[in-house]
Amino acid sequence: MPTRLIPRRIADDVIELQVSSPVEAQTLASALRELVPAEDVIAGLDRVSVQFHPSCAAQIEHALQDVTVENKTKPNSAPPIEIGISYGGEYGPDLASVCEALDLSTDAFIETHTQRVHTVEMIGFTPGFSYISGLPENFSVPRLASPRPRVPAGSVGVSAGFTGIYALNGPGGWPLIGKTDAELFRANNQDPFLLTPGQLVRFRAL
Amino acid sequence: MLVVTKPGLQSTLQAAPRIGYRHFGVPYAGPADELSHALANRLVGNTATTPALEITFGGFEAEVETECSIAVTGAYDQIHISGQTAPAHTTLHLKSGDRIEILPVTRGTRTYLAIATGFQADEAFGSKSTYLPAQLGGLDGRALKAGDRLKSVGSPVLRETRETPVSHRPVFAHAVALRACASAETDLLDEADRKSLFEDTFIAGRQATRMGVTLTGRTLSPMSDGQMKSAPVFPGTIQCPPSGTPVVLLCDAQTTGGYPRIGHIARCDRHLLGQIRPGDQTKLLQRRPEDALRDYAEKRKFLDTWLKP
């Protein structure tokens, strides 16, 4: 059954729709990019935001009145991509506190993280930053109270049930558990983004 | 051609925002003060989004290698051409050997310097604007260094002198009022905090970058467990992390974020964000979205009497 969505104004030039999963958000965002004259349509993990030029306000409001989303997921048949992580140490300064919060040994955390097949749910924040689901439900740790001003590229964090990989140097609020050498964003490459939503991922301890 | 002799704290080439790639995590970038950037281009006969220099806090010097027409807008205290005071908001005709100096700025933050036909710049993801964190656009995606040579696209001479009408010249003080709308998570603030956000005066914090400006002086306490799902954010979004210090996002705003979005600077006033200095008094004026759109249309109409004659 398709669900009818209620548009909500979150700024003078942004309307947001709430959905129930990252897959729905990605599907809806792709559809809307074809459907409405927006400046950009961005999927969050459970929202889709449509930013528009003020001259298109009436047209966008009208188009978003009757939007529905199908609650079905496409199975992904492509094999998982492997991403190596150096856990802990200088680039994983929060691994110990994360393990403490989860009441786990470091080894048990790494074992869980590397044994599961994860899914890229969203690219966002900065170019290439990937939100990857697949941690057990109870692996939920909050973001840092104050974001760090400088997080090195390749840093791997966990928050709210997701693994996140910082593709660039920059500020960041996720507790950091390690670092990868994988390049998630290559500006001059024909295909600049290593990961795309829907891609399956396996982590390997380096 | 200009040769940079003193780049200042952070000078970059900025042009049109990078529209249409936010869903890959690529921010808009573009000038932090879009209006001053457009005004500079107007004075040298360029379209509004032609690549021009954005200089942070002044302290910039360059040497002129070939005859050219330039214009300076945005924040400025003193502009010197070969040691002589020169006006902002006026086409300046320079000759080979002239020295341009933008002295340190004490009100506002960013100065814009445009050249007739525009500066040459790299294009990435459909825009020539510099985005430093990913080294996109501009001059090799980086801030300018001493010795950099900035070339114009065509012959950089305008055979005419233009002046921005006084009515259209933005004035920067140590206080700014910004129209703003409630946003997706404003409801997470209790009544007292909501009132505080839209009525109290905040002080711009020490973090005042192209990515965001913090609002200090009081803290807010959104009812949040720190587990909010990452949601889209934009230039203008006001996020409130658990520290309680709101952050207003600017042109280099990240594309998604997990902190409550407690407000959103209205489009009509977003250009002002690029001129907020640490320590400036900042007040938000709440507008309903439909009123803010009307404000935008009115401001646009007024600005276009000069920008699009």
User: Would residue A76 count as lying in a domain?
Assistant: no
Q: Are residues A136 and A63 in the same domain?
A: no
Residue of A180, A175, A204 lying closest to A100 (CA atoms): A175
| A54 φψ region: left (φ > 0), alpha (ψ -120 to 50), beta (else) | alpha
Query: For the residues A166-191, what does the mean pLDDT come to?
Result: 91
Distance, in Å, from the CA atom of B141 to the CA atom of B123, rounded to the nearest integer, reads 9
The pLDDT score that the predictor gives to residue A146 is 82
Distance, in Å, from the CA atom of B53 to the CA atom of B72, rounded to the nearest integer, reads 9
Q: Which residues of B touch A127 (CB under 8 A)?
A: 24-27, 133-134
Q: Are residues B180 and B133 in the same domain?
A: no
CA-based nearest distance B251→chain A, Å = 13
Residue at a domain's end among A69, A89, A113: A69
- Report CB contact under 8 Å: A160, B264: no
Tokens of B189: 């603030």
The pLDDT score that the predictor gives to residue B226 is 59
**For residue B85, is pLDDT > 90?**
yes
Assess contact for B53 and B74: CB atoms under 8 A.
no
Q: Which of A43-52, A65-74, A120-129, A153-162 has the highest mean pLDDT?
A: A43-52
Q: Are residues B51 and B181 in the same domain?
A: no
**Angle, in degrees to the nearest 10, between helices A106-115 and A95-102:** 90
User: Would residue A26 count as lying in a domain?
Assistant: yes
Query: For the residues B264-268, what does the mean pLDDT come to?
Result: 98
Number of domains in chain A: 2
Distance, in Å, from the CA atom of B66 to the CA atom of B47, rounded to the nearest integer, reads 22
Residue A58: give its domain's CATH number.
3.30.1360.40
The pLDDT score that the predictor gives to residue A147 is 82
- Report CB contact under 8 Å: A44, B287: no
Number of domains in chain B: 2
Q: Which of A19-33, B86-100, B109-123 has the lowest mean pLDDT?
A: A19-33
Q: Are residues A173 and A142 in the same domain?
A: yes
Partner residue facing A40 (CB), from B19, B133, B297: B19
Q: Are residues B156 and B247 in the same domain?
A: no
Q: Which of A7-11, A92-96, B172-176, B227-231 has the lowest mean pLDDT?
A: B227-231
Query: For the residues B229-235, what does the mean pLDDT come to?
Result: 93
- Report CB contact under 8 Å: B21, A13: no
Q: Are residues B49 and B133 in the same domain?
A: yes
Partner residue facing B229 (CB), from A33, A46, A193: A46
**For residue A4, is pLDDT > 90?**
no
Q: Are residues B150 and B23 in the same domain?
A: yes
Per-residue pLDDT band at A75 (split at 50, 70, 90)? low
Query: For the residues A35-57, what does the mean pLDDT come to?
Result: 95
Q: What secondary structure letter does DSSP report for B32? A: S
Among B229, B238, B259, B303, pick the best mutation site for testing chain A contact (most A Cβ within 10 A): B229
Question: Is the minimum CB–CB distance between B257 and chain A shorter than 8 Å?
Answer: yes
Q: What percent of chain A has pLDDT over 90?
A: 72
Among B34, B132, B219, B255, pick the best mutation site for testing chain A contact (most A Cβ within 10 A): B255
Residue at a domain's end among B127, B143, B168: B168
Q: Are residues A106 and A61 in the same domain?
A: no
Query: For the residues B73-87, what does the mean pLDDT come to?
Result: 98
**For residue A72, is pLDDT > 90?**
no
Q: Are residues A61 and A9 in the same domain?
A: yes
* CA A88 from centroid of its chain's CA atoms: 22
Distances (CA, A) of A21 to A15, A31, A117, A131, A138: 18, 16, 18, 13, 18
Per-residue pLDDT band at B185 (split at 50, 70, 90)? very high
Assess contact for B238 and B247: CB atoms under 8 A.
yes
Q: Are residues B65 and B158 in the same domain?
A: yes
Residue at a domain's end among A43, A69, A95: A69
CA-based nearest distance A183→chain B, Å = 12
Taken in order B127, B129, B130, B134, the sign of the CA dihedral is negative
User: Would residue A121 count as lying in a domain?
Assistant: yes
Q: What percent of chain A has pLDDT over 70?
A: 97
ipTM of the complex: 0.95
Q: Which residues of A touch B257 (CB under 8 A)?
A: 125
Q: Are residues A87 and A40 in the same domain?
A: no
By three-state DSSP, how is residue B103 classified? Answer: coil
- Report CB contact under 8 Å: A160, B266: no
Q: Are residues A18 and A44 in the same domain?
A: yes
Enclosing domain of residue B259: 175-307
Distance, in Å, from the CA atom of A141 to the CA atom of A135, rounded to the nearest integer, reads 11
Kind of pairing between the strands at A81-87 and A200-205: parallel
Average pLDDT over all residues of chain B = 96
Which position has the token pair 């050997």? Answer: B97
Assess contact for A181 and A165: CB atoms under 8 A.
no
CA-based nearest distance B269→chain A, Å = 11
Q: Which amino acid is at A99?
A: C
Tokens of A82: 């492997």
Q: Are residues B181 and B141 in the same domain?
A: no
Question: Is the minimum CB–CB distance between B205 and chain A shorter than 8 Å?
Answer: no
Residue at a domain's end among B168, B188, B217: B168
- Report CB contact under 8 Å: B241, A146: yes
Chain B (41-60) residues lying within 8 Å, Cβ to Cβ, of chain A = none
Query: For the residues B214-223, what does the mean pLDDT come to?
Result: 94
Chain B (111-150) residues lying within 8 Å, Cβ to Cβ, of chain A = 124, 133-136, 141
Query: For the residues B143-157, what does the mean pLDDT come to?
Result: 97
The pLDDT score that the predictor gives to residue A26 is 92
Distances (CA, A) of B178 to A86, B160, B236, B241, B292: 45, 36, 10, 21, 11
Assess contact for B54 and B110: CB atoms under 8 A.
yes
Q: Which of A117-121, A133-137, B192-196, B282-286 has the lowest mean pLDDT?
A: A133-137
Q: Are residues B155 and B186 in the same domain?
A: no
Residue B224: give its domain's CATH number.
2.40.100.10
The pLDDT score that the predictor gives to residue B227 is 62
Assess contact for B134 and A126: CB atoms under 8 A.
yes
pLDDT by residue (tens digit) across B158-176? 999 999 999 999 999 999 9
Distance, in Å, from the CA atom of A26 to the CA atom of B268, rounded to the nearest integer, reads 30
Question: Is the minimum CB–CB distance between B266 and chain A shorter than 8 Å?
Answer: yes
Q: Are residues A110 and A36 in the same domain?
A: no
**For residue B285, is pLDDT > 90?**
yes
Chain B (223-242) residues lying within 8 Å, Cβ to Cβ, of chain A = 225-232, 234, 236-237, 241-242
Residues in CB range of A110: below 8 A, 6 or more apart: A87, A205
Q: What secondary structure letter does DSSP report for B24? A: G
**For residue B288, is pLDDT > 70?**
yes
Distance, in Å, from the CA atom of B124 to the CA atom of B135, rounded to the nearest integer, reads 9
Q: Are residues A65 and A89 in the same domain?
A: no
Residue A99: give its domain's CATH number.
2.40.100.10
The four Cα atoms B17, B23, B27, B33 give a dihedral, to 10 degrees, of 50
Query: For the residues A27-52, what does the mean pLDDT come to?
Result: 94
Per-residue pLDDT band at B276 (split at 50, 70, 90)? very high
- Report CB contact under 8 Å: B20, A39: yes
Query: For the residues B17-41, what does the mean pLDDT come to?
Result: 96
Q: Which residues of A touch B19 (CB under 8 A)?
A: 39-40
Residue of A170, A154, A178 lying closest to A91 (CA atoms): A178
Query: For the residues A78-82, what does the mean pLDDT come to?
Result: 92
Q: Are residues A97 and A197 in the same domain?
A: yes
CA-based nearest distance B136→chain A, Å = 7
User: Would residue A57 count as lying in a domain?
Assistant: yes
Q: Are residues B206 and B110 in the same domain?
A: no
* Beta sheet of A47-51, edge-to-edge order: A8-11, A14-18, A47-51, A40-43
The pLDDT score that the predictor gives to residue A141 is 85
Q: Are residues A120 and A98 in the same domain?
A: yes
Q: Which residues of A touch B293 (CB under 8 A)?
A: 12-13, 54, 57
Q: Are residues B196 and B121 in the same domain?
A: no
Distance, in Å, from the CA atom of B135 to the CA atom of B131, rounded to the nearest integer, reads 6
Q: Are residues A53 and A104 in the same domain?
A: no
Q: Which residues of A touch B239 (CB under 8 A)?
A: none
Neighbours of B82 (CB within 10 A): 14
Query: For the residues B197-217, what does the mean pLDDT come to?
Result: 94
By three-state DSSP, how is residue B126 classified? Answer: coil
Tokens of B97: 């050997």
* CA A156 from centroid of its chain's CA atoms: 13
**For residue A1, is pLDDT > 80?**
no
Enclosing domain of residue A189: 81-205
Distance, in Å, from the CA atom of A110 to the CA atom of A112, rounded to the nearest integer, reads 5
- Report CB contact under 8 Å: B296, A54: yes
Distance, in Å, from the CA atom of A64 to the CA atom of B298, rounded to the nearest integer, reads 26
Residue at a domain's end among B144, B168, B192: B168
Which position has the token pair 């042009």? Answer: B15
pLDDT by residue (tens digit) across A144-172? 888 898 999 999 999 878 999 999 998 88
Chain B (277-306) residues lying within 8 Å, Cβ to Cβ, of chain A = 287, 289-290, 292-293, 296-297, 300
CA-based nearest distance B208→chain A, Å = 12
The pLDDT score that the predictor gives to residue A138 is 81
Q: Are residues B153 and B45 in the same domain?
A: yes
Q: Are residues B82 and B146 in the same domain?
A: yes
